[in-house]
Chains A and B, each alone.
Chain A
Amino acid sequence: MTKILISNGHVVDPANKIDQAATISVADGKIIAVDLQPTTESDFSADIVIDASDKIVCPGFIDLSVRLREPGQSYKGTIASETQAAAAAGVTSLCLPPDTSPTIDTQAVVELINDKSEKANYSKVLPIGALTQRLLGKELSSMAALKEVGCIAMSNANTPISNLLVLRRAMEYASSHDLLVIYHPDEPSLSNQGCAHEGAFSTRYGLPSIPEASESIAVSQCLELAELTGCRLHFSQISSKRSTIKIQQAKKYGVKVTADVAIHQLHLTEDDIEPFNSSYHVLPPFRTEKDKQRLREGLANGTIDVICSDHQPHDLDAKIGAFPETDTGIASIETLLPLTLSLVDDNAITLSQAIAALSQNPANILGVQSGALTVGFSADICIFDPLVSWQVNRENWNSAGLNTPFWGETLKGRVMSTIQSGKIIYAL
């Protein structure tokens, strides 16, 4: 296999507490050396030398929520197109939620995804198994069988389980197999098919609204069940201040809980929504400035462990219509890094915290040997230029989904190379 030498870069590797110039050697798909005092004399003969001058070299990103739209909706995106976009975003591993069609609740579906993602040969795809059969919230899925073929965790995607007994049993069963449960907190009777945060925006434009409590009530219930069952619980895409406070308290009392936030929730609020512009139609909805600030604080103080993209590419038709009738979600993976770096520019978090939230922390939650530039680990590496600006447009875009409220904007920070298991899967 190719031997790669990455020299002259500034290495940021939070797991190994490295934040300095260093040279990295890769061979046989693994990191074989991280040299903090690089000398010109070296017996490592690289096939490829990457000059990372003025660049940051860090662990490849691990994205906990990326919709690939395949199987089932390949008119919106494919495993090939979206893993290519992920590679361009510096993402070396990504978790695929189980709400594909068919859902990820049989070994056959997992094997199909594994086959296609290996063929695509970009980012590693880690399928998440359905917590209940067909995500219906009634019967448990065959979790052990799903784990056997590679499911990294169990989740009910965005479909809430309204029967708490089923949720309890699912948590118990998952933890019997040492499986992480990822849960998207939403009490559907309260969110009541709304499309915007219950606040000044929804009041002004007469949009069916979702109160903050529809999320924080579900967080409270799940925390109770996590404590009862001893299950490892991870909340996906929290959006509110009260959820953050509840998770912070639970962590303090030793509940095994972690959480992530979608990158756009750290940037946009209901005040930023252009009225009736469907590219802002997202669930959970954009909330208030207070929520956004608290989410940023939560990230800084460790309440929220991970930033994910919550990438949801759509075909054009899905976003053409009156706001409440359009599909929800943002094609967000390629804006993940620049928007995370702008949190550093805003002094909300440090660069090391930002990189950890994208690599080390998700790796720890998933229990995978990745997310760090440790000798012997799989060589999953991202090299980016933190200062170069680029415009979000067709030319610079890889995802099949063009649905982003950041379309046309100029963002700072761009991935230069992505290496997954020692293969260069992206180079600008």
Chain B
Amino acid sequence: MNNIQLDSQGKLKHFLSIDGLNQQILTEILDTSESFTSMSKQQVKKVPLLRGKTIVNLFFENSTRTRTTFELAATRLSADVLSLNIATSATSKGESLLDTIHNLEAMHVDMFVVRHAISGAGHFIAQNIAPHISVINAGDGQHAHPTQAMLDMFTIRQYKHSFKSLKVAVIGDILHSRVARSQIQALNMLGVEEVRVIAPKTLLPSHVKSLGVQAFNDIEQGLVDVDVVIMLRLQKERMTAALLPSEREYFKCYGLTEARLKLAKSDAIVMHPGPINRGVEIESSIADGPQSVILQQVSNGIAVRMAIMSITMQSNGAVL
């Protein structure tokens, strides 16, 4: 079923989840991203790879940051980009998701970048769309956020060069996090030594170990000797759902402080998909400190999304 992502030659056609892909495809994405990073520093930040192609950003959930990096990535590939904020558009008039998609499809677009609040929305669109259109999942419910995971993998490779002997800890709301699911799948697929998740039981899926991770409820045990620390954003609504007592207590038990970071390897890097809640999940001095690669993640986001867009469009016949 996940093979809906691949075309008949096994090439990436849709990018919906890490699940169902393989190490070779992930490595190809990382290598292609590499070639795009240098470009961002040049005077002319554009290549004509997707000239004449139309990319539509369909955001059923608001996200300025992710949408902006997708827009920039598409623009730098010379594609025409249209961003639609559907949360306040057609579907609130009772138009179904499928009707919206078919209407846009009739306008002869080449790619949809979709963010949606329901798990599986990306798969659903990919299954129901005209065969020449590629779909990129920019986050669906609690399921997957594969482009975020790939930019995180790219950042890790930049600093650590190889995935082989790495110990990586993901800290925070694993239960509700599509980012964490995709990160865990990518880390395991790329062959890291160990993936750990650190959170209270209320924020861990009850069967989290089936994802191939070690689970810790104690941050101090979980951080020992890790090479990479990935923090997740804590949503405010977790407090009202009786999952946590307060932000203060969360920071007390799971906040990344300087003292705790010392438990990790001395050259450990600290990552965060943003936006950061300073003083809730991470101390400001760490977010802005020497081990933080948070802003690097953001700039890598553009190159990685350019790579994913160009690779998926290649499967559709664009000449690279």
Residues of A within 8 A of B (CB): 198-200, 202-209, 211, 274-277, 320-325
Is B206 close to A, CB under 8 A?
yes
Q: For window 76-127 of chain B, which residues contact chain A by CB distance below 8 Å?
A: 96-98, 116, 118-121, 123-124
B210 touches A204 (CB 8 A): yes
| 0/1 interface trace, chain B 189-213, chain A, CB 8 Å (1 if under) | 0000000000000000111101100
A205 touches B143 (CB 8 A): yes
Size of interface on B: residues with Cβ below 8 Å to A = 27
B19 touches A211 (CB 8 A): no
Q: Which of B97, B116, B205 has the most C-beta atoms of chain A within 10 angstroms of its own C-beta?
A: B205
Q: A205-B143, A324-B141 are in contact. Are A200 and B207 (CB under 8 A)?
A: yes
In the bound complex, residues from chain A placing their C-beta under 8 Å from that of B120 are 205, 207, 275-276, 322-324
* Nearest CB of A to B127, in Å: 8
Is B316 close to A, CB under 8 A?
no
CA gap between A46 and B121 in the complex, in Å: 60
B118 touches A206 (CB 8 A): no
In the bound complex, residues from chain B placing their C-beta under 8 Å from that of A277 are 1
Q: Which A-B residue pairs are the 6 nearest by beta carbons?
A: A206-B142, A206-B143, A200-B210, A276-B120, A203-B205, A322-B118
Q: Return the chain A residue nearest B128 by Cβ.
A: A320
Is B167 close to A, CB under 8 A?
no
Q: Return the chain A residue nearest B98 by Cβ.
A: A320
Q: A321-B97, A321-B124 are in contact. Are A203 and B119 (CB under 8 A)?
A: no
Q: For window 165-196 of chain B, which residues contact chain A by CB distance below 8 Å?
A: 178, 181
B210 touches A274 (CB 8 A): no
CA gap between A331 and B39 in the complex, in Å: 56
A276 touches B208 (CB 8 A): no
B207 touches A199 (CB 8 A): yes
In the bound complex, residues from chain B placing their C-beta under 8 Å from that of A202 are 205, 207
Is B221 close to A, CB under 8 A?
no
A206 touches B116 (CB 8 A): no
Given A198-B207, A206-B144, A324-B141, 17 additional A-B pairs, CB 8 A: A198-B205, A198-B206, A199-B206, A199-B210, A203-B206, A203-B208, A204-B211, A205-B19, A205-B119, A206-B140, A206-B181, A207-B120, A207-B142, A208-B119, A320-B98, A322-B97, A323-B124
B206 touches A211 (CB 8 A): yes
A276 touches B123 (CB 8 A): yes
In the bound complex, residues from chain A placing their C-beta under 8 Å from that of B98 are 320-321
Is B2 close to A, CB under 8 A?
yes
In the bound complex, residues from chain A placing their C-beta under 8 Å from that of B97 are 321-322
Q: Which of B1, B116, B119, B124 contacts A207 (CB 8 A)?
A: B119
In the bound complex, residues from chain A placing their C-beta under 8 Å from that of B206 are 198-199, 203, 211
Q: List 30 A-B contacts (CB under 8 A).
A: A198-B207, A200-B207, A202-B207, A203-B205, A203-B206, A203-B208, A203-B210, A203-B211, A204-B19, A204-B181, A204-B211, A205-B119, A205-B143, A206-B142, A206-B178, A207-B120, A209-B205, A274-B1, A275-B1, A275-B2, A275-B120, A276-B1, A276-B120, A320-B128, A321-B124, A322-B120, A322-B121, A323-B120, A323-B124, A324-B120
* Nearest CB of B to A327, in Å: 14
In the bound complex, residues from chain A placing their C-beta under 8 Å from that of B144 are 206
Q: Which of B2, B119, B124, B210 contacts A206 (CB 8 A)?
A: B119
In the bound complex, residues from chain A placing their C-beta under 8 Å from that of B128 are 320
